[in-house]
Amino acid sequence: MTPSRLAECLQIVHWGPATLTQVMSLPEDTVESWLQGERSIPTNVASWIEALCFTHESADLLMPKVDPDAASEGDDSVQRLEHIPSYSYHLLRRLSEGPVGLRSLFGTDDEAAVFFLVSRGLAERKEGDLTITPSGKRIGEIQEFPS
């Protein structure tokens, strides 16, 4: 990773050098020395930062547009139909049986399902667990649509 790429990634994740220093418990001048090109950025640090960057870029694509004058928080009255991938639906069914520990999902094929469900408001994090939301529970209900 180059110093300019590190600076770009920090901008994408909305962190300053001080935040990275604090998060990684580094000596105070370490991140600045990486950004100035005085020290090389360790490969494991660069890989982790690239993963953070990727996650933020993906999440930013799904960021909702919020009208401050619109409906109140938690108002699910306006919904659009959307296909739920089968891998996400299977995890949603597991959640309907009870919370699932988030750590048990790290490094599994369910990571993408977690992202999908949380980004659509169908699941949420409660402490160390992933739980189903009322919107997620309604997915399995049969609804009649006006003809």
- Considering the domain delimited by 86-138, tell me its CATH architecture: Orthogonal Bundle (1.10)
Q: Give the chain's mean pLDDT.
A: 82
Predicted pLDDT at 49: 93
Q: Give 45's pLDDT tier (boundaries 50, 70, 90).
A: very high
Rounded Cα gap, residues 51 and 109, in angstroms: 16
Percentages of the chain per state (helix, strand, coil), in multiples of 5:
50, 5, 45
- Cβ contact 24:64 at 8 Å: no
Per residue in 2-29, pLDDT tens? Answer: 999 999 999 999 999 999 999 999 998 9
Query: Taking Cα atoms as reference points, which of 98, 86, 107 lies closest to residue 126?
Result: 98
Q: Give 78's pLDDT tier (boundaries 50, 70, 90).
A: very low
- Which residue is associated with the tokens 């990486």? 34
Per residue in 52-63, pLDDT tens? Answer: 888 888 777 666
